[in-house]
Amino acid sequence: MTDLKDAPMQQKNYTGYKSFSYLEAGTDYKVWPLSAELNRVPSRKVAVSHEEEARVRRLFQEHLMISLHDHCFIAPEDLSQFLEFRRWGRDFTGYEGLSVSGLDAVFDNLMNGTAMITSRGGWKWDDVIYDMGMRLSDIAHQEMVVHCKTTQDIVDAKKNGQIAFIVSMEGAAMIENELDRLDILYGLGVRCMGIAYSEGNALGSGLKEPRDGGLTTFGRQAVKRMNKLGMAIDVSHSGDQTSLDTIELSDKQIYITHAGARALWNSNPQKPDDVIQACAAKGGVIGIEAAPHTTLTEKHSRHSIESFMEHFEYCVNLVGIDHVAFGPDVLFGDHVGLHTALTEALSIGASRGHLSYEKVPYVDGIENPAEAFPNIVRWLVKHGYSDGDIAKAVGGNVMRVLKETWAR
C-alpha cells in the first residue's frame, strides 16, 4: 500500500514564497525571528486506518474546505516583544503551512484590535486600514493565496490549486459613527464583519460588557447597510441580546463564525442555545472554535480536538448538520503565549468567566491551520459521518450562506 501519511491533502500552487521577500530584510523592515509553521509542538494526528485516510483525501479532493475563522499569520518567537512587533505593521502569512492545510478558502481576520500601529488601544480606523493594506500587498506578490471577493473566487481557487483569502473583521468599532465606512471597507475587499468584539461600540454590546442593551439605532442602520452591500455579518463576540437583535433584524443569514455551546462550558465566549437556535432558524451557521481554553467541556476539561468536537456534536444535535461548520481560530505560533501577552488588549480575562480548567501549552490535535482541517475530517470519518454530512460541515454550509448573503 502507498504510504499516505506525509502526502499533502491537496496539491496547492506553492512555490516556496515567504512573506515580504520582495523587500530587503533588515533594510526595508526590521527582522523578527518567527515561530515554526510546521511541527512546532508534538500535536497528534487523529489516528485512522489506511482505508479511512484514503477516504479523507478523497473528501478533500471532491469537496470545498472552508475555514469560517482563522488568523493565518506567523507569530514571533519572543512574545514579550509582540506589541513592538505589531507596530511595524507587517504580519507574515504562513504560506508553507497553508500549502498543506487542505483549505480552499479561509476567513482570515487579520490582526483586528491588535493592529496597534498608531494606538495601543486598538480598533482604530488607521490601524485597521494599515494592517489590511500591508497584508494584501504581500499576498499580491505570490500566487497560491488569492484575495477573495466572490463565491466564484472560491470555486476557482480550488480548481487552480489556490486558497481564497476572505478578509474579515471581528468587530466594527473602527467605523465609529460613520456608516459609509462600511462601503469603504467593502470596496477594499472586506467581506465579513462582526458587530462588536468584547467591548461595546457604537453598534451594540460585546461579551465584556456587564449589561447588553442590544443593537443601537446606529447598529440597526449598520446591519441594513451590510445587507445592502452583500457583506456577511458575524455575531461571535457580540453580547447575547445584541446577537439576537442582529439575527432578527438582518434580511440575510447570520454567521457565528467562531464559538461553542455555553450549555457545555458556561463561559462568555460560548453561545447559549437560544442564540444558536435563532441563528439556525434564520438559515445561518455556527463555526466551532478551537482557540486555547475556549471549547472545553466537563467531560473533556483539558482542551483538545476531543472537547472541540464535543461542541460540534452538541450543536449538530441542537440545530442540525446544515447549520454547523468550523471556525478554528488558530494561528502559526504559541497561541497560549500570545493570549497571555495580550490579555488586556483582548479582554480575555473579562470574557472567559472564572471556571476551573487545566491550562494546556497548546490544543492537541488542532494547534494550527496546517493540521486543523485534516484532523477534523479524520475525526468525522472515524466517527462514521457520511460523505454528504462531512461536505456540509467542512464547507458546504458556509458556501450556501455566502451565495445568499454576498452580492455575487
Nearest to 166, CA basis, from 127, 193, 192, 141: 192
Nearest to 150, CA basis, from 231, 65, 255, 235: 231
Q: What is the pLDDT of residue 350?
A: 43
| Cα separation, 395 vs 380, whole angstroms | 14
Q: How confident is the model at residue 71 (pLDDT cuts 50, 70, 90)?
A: very high
Average pLDDT over residues 152-173: 97
Q: What is the pLDDT of residue 115?
A: 84
CA distance to 176, 258, 351, per residue, from 207 (Å): 18, 13, 6
Q: What is the pLDDT of residue 4?
A: 63
Query: If you search the block for the grid coordinates 462588536, which residue do you land on?
Result: 196
State yes or no: pLDDT of 222 exceeds 60. Answer: yes
- Is residue 182 in some structural domain? yes
Q: Which domain holds residue 351?
A: 64-405
Total domains in the fold of the chain? 1
State yes or no: pLDDT of 397 exceeds 90. Answer: yes
CB 76 within 8 A of CB 35: yes
- Is residue 337 in some structural domain? yes
Largest alpha-carbon pair distance within the chain? 63
CB 366 within 8 A of CB 372: yes
- Is residue 16 in some structural domain? no
Quote the DSSP letter at residue 291.
S
Average pLDDT over residues 265-282: 93
State yes or no: pLDDT of 1 exceeds 50. Answer: no
State yes or no: pLDDT of 283 exceeds 60. Answer: yes
- Is residue 57 in some structural domain? no
- Is residue 388 in some structural domain? yes
Q: Which amino acid is at 34?
A: L
CB 174 within 8 A of CB 128: yes
| Cα separation, 191 vs 149, whole angstroms | 7
Q: How confident is the model over 119-149, as pLDDT tens digits?
A: 888 899 999 999 999 999 999 999 999 999 9
- Look at 69-73, 77-81, 227-231, 232-236 and tell me which has the smallest mean pLDDT: 77-81
Q: What is the pLDDT of residue 313?
A: 98
| Cα separation, 87 vs 114, whole angstroms | 10
Average pLDDT over residues 344-356: 53
Task: Give me the helix-helix angle, 50-62 and 369-382, nearest 10°.
Answer: 120
State yes or no: pLDDT of 198 exceeds 90. Answer: no
State yes or no: pLDDT of 157 exceeds 80. Answer: yes
State yes or no: pLDDT of 351 exceeds 60. Answer: no
**What does the angle CA 344 – CA 70 – CA 157 come to, to the nearest 5 degrees?**
155
- Is residue 286 in some structural domain? yes
- Look at 1-10, 52-61, 64-73, 181-190 and tell me which has the smallest mean pLDDT: 1-10
Q: What is the mean pLDDT of the chain?
A: 93
CB 328 within 8 A of CB 67: yes
CB 48 within 8 A of CB 4: no
Q: Return the H-helix or E-strand segment holding 347.
A: none
CB 293 within 8 A of CB 300: no
Q: How confident is the model over 363-374, as pLDDT tens digits?
A: 999 999 999 999
Which own/partner pairs from 225-228 qualify as long-range (CB within 8 Å, at least 24 positions apart)? 225/179, 225/182, 225/183, 226/182, 226/193, 226/250, 227/251, 227/252, 227/405
| Cα separation, 307 vs 290, whole angstroms | 9
Residue 160's region, left for phi above 0, alpha for psi from -120 to 50, else beta, is: alpha
Percent of the chain topping pLDDT 70: 95
Q: What is the pLDDT of residue 2?
A: 45
Residue 155 belongs to a domain with what CATH number?
A: 3.20.20.140
Q: How confident is the model at residue 341 (pLDDT cuts 50, 70, 90)?
A: confident
| Greater model confidence, 328 or 10 | 328
Q: What is the pLDDT of residue 11?
A: 83
Nearest to 65, CA basis, from 401, 403, 397: 397
Residue 361: partners with Cβ closer than 8 Å, 6 or more residues away: 41, 336
Q: What is the pLDDT of residue 344?
A: 57
- Is residue 309 in some structural domain? yes
Q: How confident is the model at residue 173 (pLDDT cuts 50, 70, 90)?
A: very high
State yes or no: pLDDT of 352 exceeds 50. Answer: no
- Is residue 74 in some structural domain? yes
Nearest to 257, CA basis, from 335, 334, 191, 303: 191
State yes or no: pLDDT of 382 exceeds 90. Answer: yes
Q: How confident is the model over 288-337, as pLDDT tens digits?
A: 999 999 999 999 989 999 999 999 999 999 999 999 999 999 999 999 99
Average pLDDT over residues 231-249: 97
